[in-house]
Amino acid sequence: MVWVIDLLFHPVGFIKRKAESEPSFKEPLTVILIIGFFNAVAAYISVAKIAKAFPPELKIFVSVGGYIGGFGAFIMAFFSWVLVTAVFHLFACLMGGRGSFSKMFELTGLSFYPMIFSSMAGLIVMYFFFPGLQGVIQQNLTPFMYNQMQRVIQRSTPLTLHRVFNRFMMFSMVALSGVSVRVNHDLSRSKAALSVLIPLIIYFASTLWLIPYLVKQFVPFRFTQ
């Protein structure tokens, strides 16, 4: 497990060395498995805590959602690996890169390692600091329940700090992905940076504007008081 120490303390050098070797998916698969595990447990814990706030006759249904959410969070780690690799590889090719997709797949998986710390922090926050919602959800369930839950969660300082930390880890992952793009596709620093920054900007634009807009247009009711 020497590679773990090397990746932890010398990520850029490790990725550059891996770019010169034959593709091997043992290390990136380990990284994604760890992320998926932490995310799955955190998702289950959050749903389990929310379930306590529901009436007894509904707790069983919400609890089942915890298992589904945990499984979905685990699978999402792998889906994110595939999607991010494909997007970065596509933009690198548009910038004139001629790298291998299989090598890009390996290096992007390694670049995800900062998200291990984010996932671990998320699990700790969910277990110790996820706010209780027993006083929020009442017997008379209405669409306004969601809005109340959101306000309680958003006011939670630990969750807010974790969101900030998660963004920092995401930017670290993108920076390492930029190194992966540069060494795999033999691009200049500026072109490699653009290959990862353009998708990142599109992602943040969609989360800040597009997704809320679509929800507003297609959800049959609004969560307002």
Per-residue pLDDT tens for 71-128? 999 999 999 999 999 999 999 999 999 889 999 999 999 999 999 999 999 899 888 8
- For residue 44, give the DSSP letter: H
Question: Could you tell me if residue 196 is inside a domain?
Answer: yes
Show the domain range for 110.
2-218
Read off the amino acid at residue 147.
Answer: N
> What is residue 204's predicted lDDT score, i.e. its pLDDT?
81
pTM across the whole model: 0.79
Query: Is 88 in contact with 104 (CB distance < 8 Å)?
Result: yes
Question: Could you tell me if residue 223 is inside a domain?
Answer: no
Handedness of CA 137, 140, 144, 146 (dihedral sign): positive
Count of CB atoms within 10 A of residue 112's CB? Answer: 25
Query: Is 81 in contact with 112 (CB distance < 8 Å)?
Result: yes
> What is residue 144's predicted lDDT score, i.e. its pLDDT?
52
Give how far the C-alpha of residue 70 lies from the chain's centroid of Cα atoms, to the nearest Å: 13
> What is residue 224's predicted lDDT score, i.e. its pLDDT?
41
Nearby residues of 58 by Cβ (< 8 Å), 6 or more positions away: 141
Read off the amino acid at residue 129.
Answer: F
Between CA 135 and CA 140 the distance in angstroms is 13
Question: Could you tell me if residue 185 is inside a domain?
Answer: yes
Between CA 47 and CA 63 the distance in angstroms is 7
Highest mean pLDDT (candidates 39-48, 60-69, 89-98): 89-98
> What is residue 218's predicted lDDT score, i.e. its pLDDT?
52
Interior/surface letters 16-50, b for 16+ CB within 10 angstroms, e for the rest: eebbeeeeeeebbebbbebbbbbbbbbbbbbbbbb
What does the mean pLDDT of the chain come to?
Answer: 81
> What is residue 103's predicted lDDT score, i.e. its pLDDT?
92
Number of domains in the chain: 1
Query: Is 65 in contact with 47 (CB distance < 8 Å)?
Result: yes
Question: Could you tell me if residue 224 is inside a domain?
Answer: no
pLDDT at 184 over 60: yes
**Higher per-residue confidence, 72 vs 210:** 72
**Higher per-residue confidence, 154 vs 103:** 103
pLDDT at 217 over 60: no
**Higher per-residue confidence, 119 vs 224:** 119
Question: Could you tell me if residue 225 is inside a domain?
Answer: no
